Each structure stands twice: as C-alpha cells, then as structure tokens.
Amino acid sequence: MRTQIVNALKRRNRAVQNAVQAYNTAAAKLKPPKPSIEWSQISQYEFIQDFTLLRDSNPELTTKPWADPVVRVTMKQHLRVQRAREELVRLNIELRRVHMHIDDEVRLLRVKLAEARQSQSAAFAYSLEEYSLKRC
C-alpha cells in the first residue's frame, strides 16, 4: 500500500510540474507577459485558493460571491460544523460499541473467575481476580 501511495504521489508531482512548465510557457507568450511561477512556490501551496495566478484568468470570477474571502471563510466554517455533526453521530455509535465491549468483558471475567475458583486453582483464580480488578 505504501508503494502505491508513493507511486501515486510521484505521478501527481510530475503532472503538476508539467502543468507549471506549460503555464510558464503560455505566460511568457502573453502580451504583456505574466509572471512565471516556480515549483518551490507551488509545492508550498495547501489549497486551490492559494493559486493567485488563477485570478487573472477570468476577470468575471472576482465578482462571484465565493471570491470574497469572508464568504470562503464562512463556507469553510459551515462545512467544518457539518463534519463535526457527522463525527458526533459516528462517535455516539462507537461509544455504544465500546461500552458493550466493556460490559461483555466484565461478564466474561466474572464467569471465568467463578470457574477458576471452582476448579481449585487458587493461583490462577488470584491472578485472574487481580487482572479483573485492574480492568474493571
């Protein structure tokens, strides 16, 4: 799996480098020429909004509501709240599962401890009792 991830990253890395070269070639041919970009700049970008070069591609885009930084921040916060609500639902399910697992383990330890006491195995019963006290 790690090999596949590394190979996928290498392919995407090459694709982005090729796109940077194509951009620089096209930017140099424009009148007036647009500034070129370096791979070191691109590799530090985290999100598509960091690519300021896209702003000059269509002047109409800057008038869209989502082009406003305040709107983008609000949208991000809204999406984070949605993901948090989804996470709460998932965690409530997981909490029930873990609680049930603990209850099952307590029941199992009690049964095994009773069996150990009946089998006259005092050392094992003592060890199991110590273990169950630590677990429960």
Handedness of CA 17, 19, 23, 25 (dihedral sign): positive
The predicted structure's pLDDT at residue 49:
57
More confident residue, 53 or 105: 105
Between 56 and 60, residue with greater pLDDT: 60
What's the whole-model pTM score?
A: 0.46
Is residue 45 over pLDDT 60? yes
Report pLDDT for 94. 97
CA–CA separation, 123 and 84 (whole Å): 49
pLDDT in tens, 66-118: 778 888 889 999 999 999 999 999 999 999 999 999 999 999 988 988 888 88
Which pLDDT does position 132 carry in this prediction? 83
How far is the C-alpha of 42 from the C-alpha of 109, rounded, in Å? 57
